[in-house]
Structure 1
């Protein structure tokens, strides 16, 4: 040591970066400076304790592995911008940090490694700011599509665009193309509803990469899906698929994990054909691989041995993982080591996360964190992960019987949103079903009871095929529609465009509108972040209008535009445009529901302002409730629809 030891110690403690000093192969803390103490939490007394013991939440996050690598190789190790979860406040809630680590060996006089020094920079603000900017500009989608060559475009088009949403089960899937120049290869996954509540699950891997492997994958996926939908059992499916593989050049040696899950009792029948075994994660942190059996790859061994179907019983809340070998194997990662690593990483992702992460469904969280952590050092092969969880719960049906008056629309909208969001479909599904039901109820209110007040009944169910089936019924006699088309015709056209099937049953005792829509969610192709479970908050916002007196006037509408609010909005818009003689910009971003009454109002305003030579612009960003309805009604043919809110100023 050179200089005054006290001065050196003071300088060490005041360094702006966190510095940790370890001794021995167990990485015992021997010194930490002030920044390091703040990083791990002032409540921890880490000096004299092993790293894994002092910071138990590190398990599965692979930081201790960095220390092991530096100590065993005697070489410096760096890890830029690793996401690490720490319990800084000793309250059990993990905090998300992005850290850049540099670890340098310490040697004795004989040159042997006796310890380590770790220099750690907290880059969380910079990473968060960069990610927020990228998300706002949808930078990833632009970069991803710009980088796709013909091979990757073909691969993505052949993977399933949607995952089914079934009662009693939650699904998530993630696919990453290989880092190599060949890019996409022969990985695929599928989740196929079998119509009786059971779910077919598939993860497969065609040998090779490039267009040939992708084309073979597409053929195998299509044939396998058809066999499952025919109702064939697993041995028959496998035998017929194996015969098909023998006739397709490049298909031999394809590996496959095929399973059929019954969410009602958790029974899983499965078979692995030369494929890594399924992994089961329990809520309490326990994990284990299911027996893989002795089946070989398709077209090689599978046809020469009897098909032995394995059976396992999943408990409620268990998460099942099916994956390809690209997740657990690489040039520097033998398969046996990769399987051990996956087990620890996935178990950590299942049980630990920040509050926003834990608010997301377990399959979503496990997929994101597991793929992210397993591929931190790169991946030379495609990576596919399919996560399935039996929730052990059957959805309650939706039931509401209300007086047929405009005042019921707001509470019905809130009740319906809560029920639909709990079903787990996409935002698009929720908006579509909500619109169709409220539009049908609005028609009952307007037309079913011309003389005496009556009631309207709304019923809904989520069936075993993944469909939301809704019925809106009344006991009145509908007023015959006029000869000329009117808003009622437009409303029914919108209902049909939102739902898969719509039937109207008119009898002497009333009218019933029966409609259904199949729920689905998008799998994640490429890196992305877990989304917390959605809430129905936006649909609960009360209707109100804000007007900014600029040139042209700027009107911002919040809440629902339906029967009760359309008249008030009409008056406010007429005031803002001075009776239609001033140009007008209307921001519909905050509109939670746009009924046909609102569509009719916008059509009338657009026609009026066009006749007067005034400009009308509607702001409705993609994904909002207003944008979906405006797209269906072709209102863009009469007026400008702006999808970027900032472009309106």
Structure 2
């Protein structure tokens, strides 16, 4: 029988426990232990953790109840994985917003490692998280990046050809429109060292609608970007001219028949009428848009059918509707086909995260428009968990209440000049106008109001009227009118007589009408807001290691019928050329039947789709010339159904 511990032993045990506690409390990293998956009950925390979250009474309480704002920030996703897999999880430089006693939220960046603790039977019973506040390090790097961007470029410094090319091929800005707010972001694949073929665009149509476009050209590099540029130019020209989606798609389809690099490109084109919310769209082999109502659950629109350019599948249209406040998100497939993610799971995660962002449940950035939060925070939350190996383009549109025109009726006195400038500034900023455009229009309109005050009435009482309106073509029109008499300008001197010339220089267009009842001067100026070309460092933490690329295995399968091969692994931009060469050899240039089993394909990107389309159209053998097989629910079957690539879900033979 074992003796119970004496007083001396108890003192030693108590002393050891005190030392352990002191050491645990003194650890500079924040340490927390949680139990119960989904509940995350805190069973141990140290002083650094309590300081990080600025709370003392946390033991025994549920982390998800203590910090509900972190649920939508996907922080607890880090805990789900080790509970599920039993493997250690690491996150680097995650941005987390923590509430403070002042009522404000504070951005904190953390490095975090979560280690599962297991029972003797191998069951995960507890997680221990080690978090380090690296906010200062991230802020220093962000400041250095800003300084580098603002500094004057050294003539001897190498030019970022990829960045320059990508910026030239993306829209310089998105139009500012009445009743419709637009935001767009583009994130190149990986390190952004090669130009890509994804893009977005917004084109005001002649009938007051706006065409929203997201497209994806197969492959990467200069050839893909050049093909993207040509498709975008043709599409924009046709949409601007006629506003007919079907006609514009037919035009780029003809281009694809002459331009091999454009074949198998996918497009989503949606025409939205901000006046009544009517939406007409086509998903040409492309994922359908996500509709996020201001009230109610998010939902993906149904596919309109049709296939990629050059597939001969046609371009049928579908319709839907947006209420005021609703948001529509168009995207390229890189956001749902991230590394290690099944397409179906990635699609569901996109809907959930985008809905949380749109509802303001994620990161508070009230200075950003809703569409800008949707296209940046959604990227940040999804990409930081899995990384990305494909370009991602996001375009968001929100239907809003149309702005009232600016109407001023002022006495033709000197006080009217600053009053008109101030009212115009406020009206333009409410539209979301960039500062440089506000300055230009302020000067142009100021010169016109000055002319009316000083010259229209020749010293007699009168009035000057200012009317400003934003048009459905992305232009602002400002009229300055008076009831006086037109006076031909004198020969201008150094300080007088240059008002009209200056107003003309400040705006895109100036038109003056004179008559016996007065003068009306109208300036027109195109308004845009910037589109964002992001870098991986802006939306995702740096990679912890350089992972080796995943290999594509091509295995020959014995069969009594036509030859058959099986693919295992990703069919993406890195492996597409390998597959193209294999298919050419196996089909002897398209003269021999071949069955391709895609059961083991883990990822089928646009580059892989282009190769399969090419082989399907090239092969001309009797019987079953080229047969693609993928079981129902597999990643390849999901993608091939979406892009209308002919295939079978029934096991051949």
- TM-score interval, smaller chain: 0.7 to 0.9
Q: Give the aligned partner of residue 361 of structure 1.
A: 369
1:302–1:43: structure 2 CA closer, same or farther, 3 Å change rule?
Answer: farther
In the alignment, is residue 453 of structure 1 matched against residue 453 of structure 2? no
Assess if the C-alpha contact under 8 Å between 1:81 and 1:98 holds in 2. Answer: yes
Q: Give the aligned partner of residue 28 of structure 2.
A: 16
2:172 to 161, 186, 193: 161
2:262 to 236, 251, 274: 251
1:176–1:140: structure 2 CA closer, same or farther, 3 Å change rule?
Answer: farther
Assess if the C-alpha contact under 8 Å between 2:356 and 2:362 holds in 1. Answer: no
1:182–1:132: structure 2 CA closer, same or farther, 3 Å change rule?
Answer: closer
In the alignment, is residue 80 of structure 1 matched against residue 92 of structure 2? yes
* 1:58-69 matches, cutoff 5 A: 58-69=70-81
Question: How far apart, in 2, do the equivalents of 1:203 and 1:55 lie?
Answer: 37
2:69 to 44, 57, 69: 57
In the alignment, is residue 509 of structure 1 matched against residue 509 of structure 2? no
Q: Give the aligned partner of residue 462 of structure 1.
A: 470
| Greater mean alpha carbon deviation, residues 410-419 or residues 278-287 | 278-287
TM-superposed deviation, 1:2: 10
Question: How far apart, in 1, do the equivalents of 2:289 and 2:130 lie?
Answer: 39
In the alignment, is residue 372 of structure 1 matched against residue 380 of structure 2? yes
1:480–1:222: structure 2 CA closer, same or farther, 3 Å change rule?
Answer: closer
Q: Give the aligned partner of residue 390 of structure 2.
A: 381
TM-superposed deviation, 1:206: 0.5
Cα RMSD of the aligned pairs, angstroms, is 2.9
Q: Give the aligned partner of residue 562 of structure 2.
A: none
In the alignment, is residue 394 of structure 1 matched against residue 407 of structure 2? no
Q: Give the aligned partner of residue 37 of structure 1.
A: 50
Assess if the C-alpha contact under 8 Å between 1:85 and 1:353 holds in 2. Answer: no
Deviations 1:242-295 (A, max 9, x none): 233222112111111111001111111112122112112233573221112432
Assess if the C-alpha contact under 8 Å between 2:486 and 2:515 holds in 1. Answer: no
| Greater mean alpha carbon deviation, residues 327-336 or residues 484-493 | 484-493
1:519 to 511, 527, 532: 527
In the alignment, is residue 194 of structure 1 matched against residue 205 of structure 2? yes
Question: How far apart, in 2, do the equivalents of 1:172 and 1:441 lie?
Answer: 34
In the alignment, is residue 349 of structure 1 matched against residue 357 of structure 2? yes
Deviations 1:191-227 (A, max 9, x none): 0000322000110000001111111111111111122
The residue matched to 2:429 in structure 1 has which SS? helix
Question: How far apart, in 2, do the equivalents of 1:134 and 1:232 lie?
Answer: 41
* 1:266-281 matches, cutoff 5 A: 266-281=277-292
In the alignment, is residue 101 of structure 1 matched against residue 112 of structure 2? yes
1:369–1:181: structure 2 CA closer, same or farther, 3 Å change rule?
Answer: closer
Question: How far apart, in 1, do the equivalents of 2:296 and 2:310 lie?
Answer: 38
Question: How far apart, in 1, do the equivalents of 2:189 and 2:311 lie?
Answer: 25
In the alignment, is residue 495 of structure 1 matched against residue 503 of structure 2? yes
Q: Give the aligned partner of residue 314 of structure 1.
A: 322
TM-superposed deviation, 1:35: 3.1
In the alignment, is residue 289 of structure 1 matched against residue 307 of structure 2? no
Q: Give the aligned partner of residue 333 of structure 2.
A: 325
1:77–1:513: structure 2 CA closer, same or farther, 3 Å change rule?
Answer: same
Deviations 1:36-61 (A, max 9, x none): 23433538746253x44543222342
Question: How far apart, in 1, do the equivalents of 2:124 and 2:157 lie?
Answer: 47
1:241–1:134: structure 2 CA closer, same or farther, 3 Å change rule?
Answer: closer
The residue matched to 1:272 in structure 2 has which SS? strand
Question: How far apart, in 2, do the equivalents of 1:459 and 1:405 lie?
Answer: 18
TM-superposed deviation, 1:333: 1.8
Deviations 1:285-329 (A, max 9, x none): 7322111243222212523xxx43221111211111101011221
Q: TM-score, normalised by structure 1?
A: 0.74
TM-superposed deviation, 1:353: 6.3
1:107–1:356: structure 2 CA closer, same or farther, 3 Å change rule?
Answer: closer
Question: How far apart, in 2, do the equivalents of 1:286 and 1:250 lie?
Answer: 39
1:267–1:135: structure 2 CA closer, same or farther, 3 Å change rule?
Answer: same
Question: How far apart, in 2, do the equivalents of 1:499 and 1:524 lie?
Answer: 25
1:481–1:301: structure 2 CA closer, same or farther, 3 Å change rule?
Answer: closer
TM-superposed deviation, 1:89: 4.4
* 1:576-591 matches, cutoff 5 A: none
The residue matched to 1:265 in structure 2 has which SS? coil
Q: TM-score, normalised by structure 2?
A: 0.74
The residue matched to 1:138 in structure 2 has which SS? helix
2:483 to 459, 475, 481: 475
Q: Give the aligned partner of residue 569 of structure 2.
A: none
Deviations 1:531-565 (A, max 9, x none): xxxxxxxxxxxxxxxxxxxxxxxxxxxxxxxxxxx
TM-superposed deviation, 1:404: 2.0
The residue matched to 1:19 in structure 2 has which SS? strand
Question: How far apart, in 2, do the equivalents of 1:282 and 1:39 lie?
Answer: 36
| Greater mean alpha carbon deviation, residues 70-79 or residues 157-166 | 70-79
Question: How far apart, in 1, do the equivalents of 2:450 and 2:201 lie?
Answer: 39
* 1:137-152 matches, cutoff 5 A: 137-138=148-149, 149-152=160-163
TM-superposed deviation, 1:237: 3.1
Q: Give the aligned partner of residue 209 of structure 1.
A: 220
Q: Give the aligned partner of residue 634 of structure 1.
A: none
Assess if the C-alpha contact under 8 Å between 1:176 and 1:383 holds in 2. Answer: yes
TM-superposed deviation, 1:420: 1.2
Question: How far apart, in 1, do the equivalents of 2:141 and 2:463 lie?
Answer: 54
Question: How far apart, in 1, do the equivalents of 2:359 and 2:153 lie?
Answer: 33
* 1:558-637 matches, cutoff 5 A: none
1:59–1:288: structure 2 CA closer, same or farther, 3 Å change rule?
Answer: farther
In the alignment, is residue 412 of structure 1 matched against residue 412 of structure 2? no
TM-superposed deviation, 1:62: 2.7
Q: Give the aligned partner of residue 235 of structure 2.
A: 224
Q: Give the aligned partner of residue 544 of structure 1.
A: none
The residue matched to 1:245 in structure 2 has which SS? helix
TM-superposed deviation, 1:468: 1.2
Assess if the C-alpha contact under 8 Å between 2:411 and 2:463 holds in 1. Answer: yes
Q: Any stretches of 5+ residues in structure 2 without a counterpart?
A: 1-12, 540-653
Q: How many residues align?
A: 523
Assess if the C-alpha contact under 8 Å between 1:266 and 1:314 holds in 2. Answer: yes
